[in-house]
Amino acid sequence: MSLTSEALTQRYQLACEVAQAAADFALTFYQQRQQLVVERKAGNMQDLVSRADREVEDLIRSRLQTAFPDDGFLGEEGGGSQASARCLWVVDPIDGTSCFLNGLHTWCVAIAAVVDGEPSIGVICDPNHRELFHACKGKGAWLNDVPMQVHQGASLQEGMTGISNSPRIAPRRIAGFVQALLDQGGMFVRSGSGALTTAYVAAGRLIGFYEPHMNAWDALAGLVLVREAGGVSNDFLAGDGLSSGNALMLGNPAIYQQIKALADH
């Protein structure tokens, strides 16, 4: 038996509240970031973590599990529990940690919920710009209180494409995509926060998005946002996407096909 509409709405409302509270909490660390002790995750000199990431995730986990103790939780910093639960929360407490630690405003809090195997809630909060991007399956996508719609362009030349990349994938994968995009007269943006970049696609600021490999906690919130804003995506959860990550491609139906063609180039 799937979740009722009321149960989904309750989780959606809570996700918005928790994302805002977590982002405000993260902002207090950001304003005192020089005092944070920074660690590098094993095997990746660019993958940073600090007390802020862990404490923000703890806040999110506590609020969600207090309200819905039977739900599962998968966080970037603390891992997962009850992954087989009907509703699984998938969280990145601070996406764009390198930006966060270096005083750049391109970081965010990302919260998603996978309900009965389907990404159904997506919330991304950017406290520096006071923007809350939020969506729930069947309810549309919103920036604060204003409905969002993906860019309506028919060609990649009509807007900027968001990209992201990680050391998990050979550089030639993203380099080849960028070369093909530029050859077609397109342009690209890389902000340092893949999740926030996906939110910009949902808001129509960017025409599309591509990353060769993205973790679920970075990808799923934006995937829901874009789908509810009238866009499409690849099947991110295919195979072992939830646990191991996958490529992510986003855009309106026409743009999605063009991004896929370049990615497959």
218 known ligand binder:
yes
Residue 92 annotated as part of some ligand binding site = yes
pLDDT mean over 251-261: 98
Q: Tell me the angle at which helices 253-263 and 171-183 cross, rounded to the nearest 10 degrees.
A: 120
Residue 126 known to bind ligand: no
pLDDT value, residue 86: 93
The fold of 156-263 is: D-Maltodextrin-Binding Protein; domain 2 (3.40.190)
Domain 5-147 fold is Fructose-1,6-Bisphosphatase; Chain A, domain 1 (3.30.540)
How confident is residue 2, by pLDDT bands cut at 50, 70 and 90? confident
Delimit the domains of the chain by residue range.
5-147, 156-263
Phi, psi of 76, rounded to the nearest 5 degrees: -60, -40
pTM over 0.85: yes
| 76 is known to lie in a ligand binding site | yes
Q: Is 255 annotated as a binding residue?
A: no
Is the CA virtual torsion 157, 163, 169, 172 positive or negative? positive
CA distance 108 to 53: 11
pLDDT tens per residue across span 155-203: 999 999 999 998 888 999 999 999 999 999 999 999 999 999 999 999 9
In the chain, pLDDT over 70 holds for what percent of residues?
A: 94
| Spatial distance between the Cα atoms of 24 and 26, rounded to a whole number of angstroms | 5
Picking from 156, 166, 192, 141, the residue whose alpha carbon sits closest to that of residue 45 is 166
Average pLDDT over residues 30-36: 90
Q: Poorest-confidence range of 44-48, 180-184, 234-238? A: 44-48
- Contacts (Cβ under 8 Å, ≥6 apart) of 201: 150, 151, 162, 207, 208, 209, 222, 225, 226, 229, 231, 250, 251
Encoded tokens for 174: 């993203």
pLDDT tens digits, one per residue of 108-128: 999 999 999 999 999 999 999
